[in-house]
Amino acid sequence: MQVGIIGGTGPAGRALAVRLAASGASVLLGSRSAERADGAARELVASWPDHPLELTGVTNEAAARAGIAVLATPWDGALPAVAGLADALAGKVLVSMVNALTRMGREFQALVPVRGSIAATVQAALPATMVTAAFQHLPAGALAAIDQGLDADVLVCADDPGAAEATVRLVGVVPGLRGVVAGTLASANAVEALTAVLLNVNIRYKSHVALRLTGLHGEA
């Protein structure tokens, strides 16, 4: 599987990129600057010399042309990042892992975009793209530590059922992660806001908590 990560040089994008690459995916790590992306990719590969990582730094446009793309920018950079990528992303699945959060002292608080979530905002800007929301609530530190296993559920929100299933398959590439369809993009606001709660738990208890749903039977 080839995955492109748009705006992937930040902590969340790097963490997902290295975890996917360690799980056998071919990852294109995108940035506005090809030089910056190349440097970040080389740094990640060099950090794990015992792991064969197929990880390449590219421009955001090249990342958008991958089989499936992930948006990993800061929340206020999401729309600028995709503004010129409508053609490259047309007809494709774009997974938003972006959260609108702010920090007040030691506490994280969720911001509410006009359309309710960053994922819904991006969908409105890219009507020809199938936008989904996933990965927002995974702790970046644990995700990046590829020498340690994961045990977590990933909530997936999407308006298009096929895009939801494609996102669940992407989640399933990583051992220990299970994708769970949690509604349409109307539910993405709750998932994005939940990330603030989990971050506050991590700060309070000096932990790296993740979600695991109990009582879920059958396919998820």
Structural domain spans, the chain: 2-205
Q: Are 167 and 134 in contact (CB under 8 A)?
A: yes
Q: Is the pLDDT of residue 219 over 80?
A: no
Q: Which of 125, 121, 102, 105 is nearest to 113 (CA)?
A: 121
Classify 15 as helix, strand or coil. helix
The average pLDDT across 205-210 equals: 93
Q: Is the pLDDT of residue 23 over 90?
A: yes
The average pLDDT across 14-33 equals: 98
pLDDT band at 112 (very low <50, low <70, confident <90, very high): confident
Residue 170 CA, chain-centre distance (Å), reads 10
**What is the structure's pLDDT at 91?**
98
Distance CA 117, CA 159 (A): 13
The average pLDDT across 1-22 equals: 97
pTM of the model: 0.96
**What is the structure's pLDDT at 204?**
94
CATH topology (fold) of 2-205: Rossmann fold (3.40.50)
Query: Average per-residue pLDDT in the chain?
Result: 96
**What is the structure's pLDDT at 86?**
97
The average pLDDT across 113-123 equals: 95
Q: Is the pLDDT of residue 217 over 80?
A: no
Q: Is the pLDDT of residue 94 over 90?
A: yes
Distance CA 87, CA 200 (A): 38
Q: What percent of the chain has pLDDT above 90?
A: 95
Q: Is the pLDDT of residue 78 over 90?
A: yes
Residue 130 vs residues 59, 126, 135, 162, 166: alpha-carbon distances, Å:
21, 8, 16, 9, 10
Q: Is the pLDDT of residue 220 over 60?
A: no
Neighbours of 205 (CB within 10 A): 9
Distance CA 120, CA 184 (A): 10
The average pLDDT across 5-21 equals: 97
**What is the structure's pLDDT at 218?**
62
pLDDT band at 206 (very low <50, low <70, confident <90, very high): very high
Classify 75 as helix, strand or coil. helix
**What is the structure's pLDDT at 114?**
86
The average pLDDT across 6-31 equals: 97
The average pLDDT across 115-142 equals: 96
